[in-house]
Structure 1
């Protein structure tokens, strides 16, 4: 008797309560041999949840291949291998049916009556979905309990690894050394770009094997787990508390770097170029007062080469009729003259052009307090509904009230205006002038200028400049 062509699909999720792929394959081949099936294709999704089919590449390939007519049956160990979402289960089974492919579970009833099979599919699909939801709730509950105890759950971040024998998170010393270098580099004035460049040159990549770019450097530096603190939201509950992890850097170093990150964020636009690739210390600072567009640095050819100039970008595109251009040397001289004039005189006329920063909170305290108050309300409702005992309610109330008071105290130290120190500002101004007039490299001049100057309105035709500063 001629054997029927079939494919087999195997999946093992990460909950560790499944038959292994090898075990599934052995039983599927045994079933095929007993029942006259010739297995011509295998599809395997390993370590992947069955809740959403779109996240299972082998499954989606199998659905696509079912249109080719290469096989007329698909063998699976049980219906949970196929899908744990009721709607998706019925949808993809209907697609296979339309393609003339029968789905066969080797451990469950398979009936020839379409209506009875529909009832069974609906029942098994609903059961599988209920299982997934229950499992998800149990996992979430476990993570919440860990967070309350200050324990870390989930995939270890860069700098840590999970000791499977003791079920604890430990410092990965080679990665921790890289993180400490990154914190030291920021404290010494390095940019995210220069750190990312150094890491790329050394072949250092992320946990997932990806290149660590400037944005990733910033995110890694901002992760409070590096100072031994936990910040997570699990099951609608937010946690920001000291963990039981050994810190990679001290809280003092971590908090100082966060201040630098906040300061840089207040002075640099979101998509501004790294200092290392700018052509001039005025690049990105000059603004046309007529169209509010930026000036572009332009080099010019000729023999001998003509002097480079700054030109209104919108004028180049024909969008600014009043824009103009100016030789770089000329605008340099104008800016330096103005800076010296401001340094030598009173700051009062320029106070409106000086942005005095405020200390911004690292977290939204009011949002966190609202979440905790909601949890407090739910804890009371659970007690009144006799879901929780009085002892459990008292424990939850004590914990949540203490967290609310802790966050309120932290909030009191935020959003304070930093007093403006005129003498300190003038000292900064003098340092900037000295550096800009020196023979130091361009990246150093760029960093120096941008540490103090926010923007400059330049009108070459009127030969006027208006400077705006950071305090």
Structure 2
């Protein structure tokens, strides 16, 4: 039976994930062809905006790592309901973890009224289908776990033979399953070892690399921990280090971490390597991360002050001052260190001047609660406009006839005009006057020594969005909610 009109036509999202097996029948194009074929046979339209394709190599074991999946779920939660069903090539593309599968399918079906359908594993609506779907999911999870174990065993055996099993570390390239020193980056690695052995710090080396425009293997700026990871990596003396669990998390002494002799050319000598390891250990002993238990530090400006150079938040440093978080990690090259009493004084004086003069600087943000009736109507108008796109796609995909398309279009345009007629001019409101009246006592509270720092932080957050500190000028820009 052919559906007549938009009211009876279902809208679908298509979710596509590439199999790590890289088989042709599971390619994104092949999956989409089959999904579109199913949609056409069942009078379902798939808008282009609702086609979600996962990047190559993304595992189906954990949904939180799948960006396209998370975007689809986020869209599904919007109101009104954007689509009626999610179409997949196979249930295994949705999740190979039964816990994730049950949670997300239950939310979609029971809370949002959105079904999940496998176009290659059709199920009926009877209760037996519940058991069949559960069996399919269990088999998919078993296959995924078994495959993971087989891959891990294979990689472990490769490591035992000294063969690489991961992307090359900074300073190396890979060719024919073998690491080779990269002529451009290998000298940089050698220089890092030499300079650190001579007394340079990790943060200073990270800043130097960033100033030179050098980026890590993944194209990111260097941080002090990035430099430390390079200095700790035995790959540079011809070794292969690997953990069957995946990430080492900078815990290089874990019992399951394998370090074996590789077959590639070293970049640094073992003597230089040992010298650097000794200094790294000495620095750790001298400045241990957890030498003392730090008390939770509450201060008035906590989480509000940002660096004028990079935009990172200023955090409470071990010295008792505030410092740019990214500067401490080596990715920002401009220090913004300032004592708490000094920055508190500058901020309070700035806010005081604003309230005294009654004039805002050009640092005003709209209120988070400024959505009025007109804004809601505008949202409805935008939803109707999206419907126009959908019925056009339904016509282009031959789901609707030309007559049906014209009738639906006229109906939607009429609704848009009706909504526009409801828009009324909002009488002007003296927002500044209202703001000052509401917060006129705030400055005195911020100066009151009997009020706790956490309470002062809450007071500031009620009318201040953020504060930008410029150390070179010794000034702050306060961004208010208006």
TM-score (norm 2): 0.53
Hey, what does 2:230 align to over in structure 1?
Answer: 220
Q: Runs (4+) of structure 1 moved beyond 6 Å?
A: 294-297
Cα shift at 1:15 = 4.1
Aligned in 2, Cα 1:175/1:133: closer, same or farther, shift over 3 Å?
same
Match of 1:194, SS?
helix
Larger relative CO (CA 8 A, sep 6+): 1 or 2?
Answer: 2
SS at 1:234 equivalent? coil
Residue of structure 2 equivalent to 1:116: 128
Give how far 1:33 is off: 2.1
Deviations 1:245-286 (A, max 9, x none): 2111121221122122223333334499xxxxxxxxxxxxxx
Q: Deviations 1:195-216 (Å, cap 9, x if unpaired)?
A: 1121011011211222212222
Corresponding position: 1:258 with 2:270: no
1:156 maps to which of 165, 168, 183: 168
Deviations 1:341-383 (A, max 9, x none): xxxxxxxxxxxxxxxxxxxxxxxxxxxxxxxxxxxxxxxxxxx
Q: Does 2:45 correspond to 1:45?
A: no
Paired position in structure 1 for 2:22 = 16
Deviation at 1:85, TM superposition (A): 1.0
Shift of 1:242: 1.3
Given that 2:164 and 2:177 are in contact with CA atoms closer than 8 Å, whether structure 1 keeps it comes out as no
CA deviation string 1:61-105 (max 9, x = no partner): 222322331211111101111110122212222212112212121
CA distance in 1, matches of 2:287, 2:240: 28
**1:171–1:138: structure 2 CA closer, same or farther, 3 Å change rule?**
same
What pairs with 1:55-454 in structure 2 (closer than 5 Å)?
Answer: 55-67=65-77, 68=79, 69-98=81-110, 99-113=112-126, 115-163=127-175, 166-234=176-244, 237-270=256-289
Report deviation, 1:108.
Answer: 0.9
1:90–1:121 contact (8 Å) kept in structure 2: no
More deviation, 11-20/128-137: 11-20
Q: What's the CA shift for 1:9? A: 0.5
CA distance in 2, matches of 1:192, 1:60: 36
With over 3 angstroms needed to count, the CA separation of the structure-2 counterparts of 1:251 and 1:17, relative to structure 1, is farther
CA shift, 1:296, in A, is 8.6
Higher-Rg structure is 1
Q: Is the 8 A contact 2:163 2:177 kept in 1?
A: no
Change beyond 3 A, Cα 1:64–1:218: closer
Tell me the distance in 2 between the aligned counterparts of 1:134 and 1:22: 27
Distance 1:76 1:295 in 2: 55
Aligned to 2:345: none
Q: Distance in 1 between matches of 2:290 and 2:135?
A: 52
Are the counterparts in 1 of residues 241 and 260 from structure 2 also a CA contact under 8 Å?
A: yes
Distance in 2 separating the partners of 1:58 and 1:107: 21
Counterpart Cα distance in 2 of 1:74 and 1:295: 54
Structure 2 unmatched runs, 5+: 246-254, 292-317, 322-338, 343-482
Which runs of 5 or more structure 1 residues have no equivalent in the other structure?
273-293, 298-312, 317-471
Residues 53 and 68 of structure 2 are in contact (CA less than 8 Å); yes or no, is this contact kept in structure 1?
A: yes
| Greater CA drift, 39-48 or 124-133 | 39-48
Secondary structure at 1:174's aligned position in 2? coil
Query: So what's the TM-score if we normalise by structure 1?
Result: 0.54
Number of aligned residue pairs: give it. 277
Whole-Å separation in 2 of the counterparts to 1:191 and 1:132: 44
Q: Distance in 2 between matches of 1:14 and 1:170?
A: 27
- The structure-2 alpha-carbon separation of the partners of 1:72 and 1:108, relative to structure 1 and needing over 3 Å to count, comes to same
Q: Structure 1 residues 58, 296: CA separation in 2 closer, same or farther (over 3 Å shift)? A: closer
The answer to whether structure 1 residue 4 and structure 2 residue 3 are counterparts is no
Superposed CA RMSD in Å reads 2.8
Match of 2:43 in 1: 36
Whether the aligned pair in 2 keeps the contact of 1:86 and 1:125 (CA below 8 Å) is: yes
